[in-house]
Chain A
């Protein structure tokens, strides 16, 4: 069973049983509160951290937070909480 097939099976199972897909599929979730706070759960590691751009890996791809005066207020293996003036959140 290949990884793509495995992922499809999990997605169908989550849909059928009405379960949160991020749990089964290990997907990242992004909570954006106004333009001052962003919280990323289920990330797969920090790639780049500057005051203008923070990049993290995720199952879906690269999550890029762009803005100014960005600061990581809390960092753990699963969650990142970022404060600052946020202009863009991109999935690349």
Chain B
């Protein structure tokens, strides 16, 4: 602390040369001056450090002695400030840099995920971004408790989530629960995941509430978690079972009988963009999508599982002109059928489980397109456990 105070006030390293240096030190001390780090080099040379203000008071003491005094070095804040005064731009630069650091430290620049190994970082990133946590946002705009609650709600396999902000870094700490354990330790019932006709029911624990051939609606109770044990006592536990049912799915796909085919003109341009947090800086001009096709390649800077707010993108523009060409009915039907199946797959239909498939083809009212409706019957397990 003393050294820091000395530095702040400014001090000089002084060489004293002559006879009777001890006597001089006593006279200096008698003036109330404190000298520091006194080094004896030879019999007639001593190095001392003293406050810059005190140094000026030495002169009268030396008048009647044969001792010479010379300054070897100057230290401390007043000397630095003096140097800065003569280098205005350096002083301005340093001040601006300091202000920038202070200002930028109010933002979050790194978002790091710890734990939650089975969750994809992109999905997590999407959720936390929806609630305002991303690189480049002000620290006080982030509500950790709300984000924690949302993470636990969105990802049921999470047992614990904590968002802590440490300086410019937001840390998301996640602990995943053992799915099987949680399902079978909490009491609950088995419900129907879809509408369907039950073909087979196999109860592992609980009481069956439907039978083969029953038609069930989505959300209907299939197996109750309440049952009577071997001693006739009513128990309430986690219902478990397999309920196979015939389930119907329907999807629609549409395709036009004409299409615009791109013809490349050979006019190519390239643009780069740098994205820092929510700010994107384009390097080069962009081109309209009506006459150019755009291919983007992105590089996201990342440090392990930490998301760093710096992204670089390369955008290639290829000049195109569009020609209208007609499509055969067969080709349009195939396209529409494939789109319908894409939709079915998105609904969770597995092609190998399909028992029956039917389709209807309609020409759209304007006569310029085909609509294909695909209906499939699937045999699947519709049991869905829900804890109380």
Contact = CB atoms under 8 A, between A and B. Distances in A.
Interface residues of A, number: 14
Report, nearest first, the 5 A-B pairs whose CB atoms are least far apart: A72-B38, A77-B29, A76-B34, A45-B26, A46-B22
A46 B39 CA distance: 14
A76 B51 CA distance: 13
B30 interface: yes
Given A46-B22, A46-B25, A75 B38 contact: yes
A51 interface: yes
A50 interface: yes
Interface string B31-69: 011111111100000100000000000000000000000
Interface in A24-56: 45-51
A76 B25 CA distance: 9
B58 to A, nearest CB: 14
A16 interface: no
A47 to B, nearest CB: 6
Contact of B38 (A45, A47, A71): A71
Contacts of B38: 49, 71-73, 75
Nearest to B50: A75
Nearest to A47: B22
Nearest to A71: B39
Contacts of B22: 46-49
A10 B34 CA distance: 30
Contacts of A48: 22
A51 B26 CA distance: 18
Contact of A77 (B30, B36, B37, B40): B30
Contacts of B29: 75-77
A79 to B, nearest CB: 9
Interface string A59-73: 000000000000111
Contact of A73 (B32, B33, B36, B46): B36
Contacts of A73: 36-38
Given A46-B22, A49-B25, 8 more contacts: A48-B22, A49-B22, A75-B25, A75-B34, A76-B29, A76-B34, A76-B35, A77-B30
A72 B26 CA distance: 13
B31 to A, nearest CB: 8
A74 interface: yes
Contacts of B40: 49-51, 71
Nearest to B31: A77
B36 A46 contact: no
A3 to B, nearest CB: 22
A46 B21 CA distance: 10
A62 to B, nearest CB: 13
A73 to B, nearest CB: 6
Contacts of B21: 49
A73 B49 CA distance: 9
30 contacts: A46-B22, A46-B25, A46-B26, A48-B22, A49-B21, A49-B22, A49-B25, A49-B40, A49-B46, A51-B40, A71-B38, A71-B39, A71-B40, A72-B37, A72-B38, A73-B37, A73-B38, A74-B34, A74-B37, A75-B25, A75-B35, A75-B36, A76-B29, A76-B32, A76-B33, A76-B34, A76-B35, A77-B29, A77-B30, A77-B32
A77 B33 CA distance: 8
A21 B26 CA distance: 25
A8 to B, nearest CB: 29
